[in-house]
Amino acid sequence: MGKKILIAEDQKDTAEFLGRILKRKGHEVSVVNDGLKAKKLIDSQHFDIFLLDCSMPGMTGPELIKDAREHNPNAKVIIFSGYNAIDGKLAGDLGADAFLHKPLKPEDIEKICDY
């Protein structure tokens, strides 16, 4: 059974790439390109998985983690970035379940989303 997934990523090519991979695997995917749009969806809908970019306009991925946890306490939260300033330990300290470095690989996304 597919999961409901929110992708919040300001780079449209990356967001579309992630969405295609996950839809092919049978998941229901919502894609937004800024943090404020992500917050509106987090506050109004249930999601099983959040894929949040660390750096977006409006709100960042790390800023969205608290809302994601509050509204969907059992959801998996994954943050990702092309910058080396964040690693797995810091991601965990922020409340994320995992951290991925860009460029993202299809097999990494599929593995995380098929928990």
Choices 3.40.630.10, 3.90.650.10, 3.10.20.30, 3.40.50.2300: CATH for 4-113: 3.40.50.2300
Q: Where are the domains of the chain?
A: 4-113
pLDDT of amino acid 105: 86
Q: How many residues does the chain have?
A: 115
Give the residue among 2, 16, 92, 91 at the shortest CA–CA distance from 47. 2
**53 φ/ψ angles, rounded to the nearest 5 degrees:** -75, 140
Q: What percent of the chain has pLDDT over 90?
A: 54
Question: What's the pLDDT tens digit per position in 34-89?
Answer: 999 999 999 999 999 999 998 899 998 889 999 999 999 999 999 888 776 555 55
For residue 23, how many other CB atoms are within 10 A of its CB? 13
